[in-house]
Structure 1
Amino acid sequence: MRQQHKTFQAIEVGDGGDGRWAAYARTLWQEMEGLLTAEGRTVQGADRVRALFHAHMPELVPVLHRLAGQLDRPEADVFLTHAALRPFSPACTQIGQNGTLLRNYDLPPHQCEGTIVSSRFLRPVIGMQDMLWGLLDGMNDAGLALSLTWGGRSAHGRGFAILIVVRYLLETCDTVDEAVDRLQSLPIAVPQNLTLVDPVKAVTVFVGPDMAPTVAPDACAANHQHLPVTDEQERALHTQERLRAIRAAGTNVAAMLKPPLYRSADEQGSRTLYTAHYRPAEGHVTYYWPGESWPQSFRDFTPGTRTVTFDQAT
């Protein structure tokens, strides 16, 4: 077995206005701007996504301007709307139960930003960041936590990448019910599953460009929604197997660090990159890897880095 390494980091960026976020984002800009769609590079496309963001996420418009102004790049504000990005499809597993959100995030290591961010754009939020200010999962100071998985279907439409939706809901909502209500009016570009947890409720909601938000039978998700899973998809993703396993295990961290929930690298290089265990009512999250953990909280957020070693099949 050869080994693969991935460095995760934790940073504080405040309200985004003091240069810390911009200093970090500039190091990734060349890589990130390549993810902007061709439409987003046109005058008409740029105007469309700006209008979409202003219409659906008005509370975040001042933050968008603050961040884009510091990047000082012609397409920065268009990119940061997350409404003109190439789609991505992470294969993840998650469950909400008894005030806890537990999730595995699966993707090729080089495609994951790997940055835990503590921010105060509109309110205190901690989460695993991607695409400069979007979130793969996170929690806010009201005790609300969210995480995402790909919905397993190839549909694509005009709308937001799910990363900015997670950010928006955490910045503007206090409860699961409030967040689910907000989802009803948000256009989503790609089928995704969101699991939401607060101190008294946990749900999973299926969203996508071709469907109204739909509450799932329970607060669990892998990589399918309400449609049948093909044999080919099951062989590639083991989505039904993982969903059965997490339903049986509940919020058991040890189970998330073992097969079938913990996934070694597949033919595309996708693998479980981290496990996140959120207890949002306590303002606490712990990120896990086999044999290692990294706790963070609103009261005690610790910037730094952790390099994780993965076994890689030869």
Structure 2
Amino acid sequence: MNRRLTFTALDVGDGSDGRWAAAAGAAWPDAASWYTGRGVRAAERLFAERMPELLPVLDRLAAGLDRPGGRAALAHAGLRPFFSGCTQAAVDGVLLRNYDFHPAQCSRTVVSSDFLRPVIGMQELFWGLLDGMNDAGLAVSLTFGGRFVHGPGFSVLLVLRYLLETCDSVGQALAALGRLPVATAQNLTLVDASSALTVQVGPDLEPTVTSEPRAANHQSAPVPEEQERVTRTRQRLAAVREAADSPDAVLAALLRPPLHQLRYDEGLGTLYTAVYRPADGRVGYHWPGEPPWEQSFAAFAPGSRTVTVGRTAGAPDPW
């Protein structure tokens, strides 16, 4: 089933001049439904203890948002867990990823910000990030780790924001993850000019670096057969491994099945493919049959792009 989706690009600066607040206010009715309101005090204490660098940003954004419960929402307190598909890989200093989720539950907003430093990424839930890069040449993306566990800790969206705001390198980000509890099982792929790795995190797991800089929806345990039937996790990981000889080869594979997923009504559709080149400060967002949407620190262009999703590049629908 083909769908037309609109993606938006916003330059929000440091969040103090109303641009971020206007966008966040418009998103409030939909985004607020993700928050349960539980554990607010504990979450805010944990934020102050483990992410003190972001406290001035939190205060600034909360003042601009000016909603009851807004500060707790920005701390991602009581956030309902979310689980998705996604595939990602790092090749030759380039981070490539497919984001697979239900079309109605993704904000589809690319944001250039300067909260603590310049960051560009796909924003979710006010200031969280699904993937992104910073001006130091670090890029990070997330994918569900495949285990339906949930516990105390930060939303992974907020963790990505923190890493890109405060870290210059993969090594610094890995050290930061050692002190940041994450509430759900997630795989993070990190890239800088000299290194790339995937690290597995979760509420019951110490950060674990894997043997390769690519990931689908698995961690240390074998992928259960039911999960494999629904998400094709092992199949997708094999496909991205096979293609990982160059960024162009990986991009081509991400735009066709089995990596490009088509069951949008079941929440398994690929909404976009991102190609981050952090050493150059550039990112391109891709869809089969559509021209790429290029953004960069040097030439970020606010605006919108409407694309057709639900089709693939030169391949039949496998479903």
Residues 100-155 of structure 1 deviation map (CA, whole Å, 9 limit, x = unaligned): 10000000111111000000000000000000100000000000000000001111
CA distance in 2, matches of 1:282, 1:303: 19
Residues 44-102 of structure 1 deviation map (CA, whole Å, 9 limit, x = unaligned): x3221111100010000000010011111120110111242000012100001221100
Q: How many residues align?
A: 308
| Corresponding position: 1:123 with 2:117 | yes
Equivalent position SS for 2:2: strand
| Corresponding position: 1:27 with 2:21 | no
| Corresponding position: 1:6 with 2:2 | no
Identity %: 56
- 2:61 corresponds, among 57, 67, 71, to 67
The equivalences for 1:1-314 within 5 A come to 2-39=1-38, 45-250=39-244, 251=247, 252-265=250-263, 268-292=266-290, 293-311=292-310
CA distance in 1, matches of 2:119, 2:217: 26
Q: Is the 8 A contact 1:157 1:190 kept in 2?
A: yes
Give the letter for the 1:275 counterpart: T
- What is the RMSD of the two structures over their aligned residues, measured on CA atoms? 1.4
CA distance in 2, matches of 1:287, 1:151: 23
CA distance in 2, matches of 1:204, 1:311: 28
Structure 1: any 5+ residue segments left out of the alignment?
40-44
CA distance in 2, matches of 1:262, 1:47: 40
Equivalent position SS for 2:53: helix
CA distance in 2, matches of 1:234, 1:210: 22
Displacement after TM superposition at 1:254 (Å)? 1.2
Q: Is the 8 A contact 1:83 1:158 kept in 2?
A: no
CA distance in 1, matches of 2:104, 2:214: 27
Q: Which stretches of structure 1, 4 residues or longer, exceed 4 Å deviation after superposition?
A: none
CA distance in 1, matches of 2:266, 2:207: 30
TM-score (norm 1): 0.96
Equivalent position SS for 1:281: coil
Structure 2: any 5+ residue segments left out of the alignment?
312-316
Q: Is the 8 A contact 1:83 1:159 kept in 2?
A: no
Q: Is the 8 A contact 1:98 1:200 kept in 2?
A: no
Q: Do the aligned partners of residues 216 and 83 (structure 1) sit closer, same or farther apart at CA in structure 2, a change above 3 Å counting?
A: farther
Equivalent position SS for 1:282: coil
CA distance in 1, matches of 2:51, 2:242: 37
Q: Is the 8 A contact 2:103 2:264 kept in 1?
A: no
CA distance in 1, matches of 2:285, 2:60: 30
Displacement after TM superposition at 1:309 (Å)? 1.5
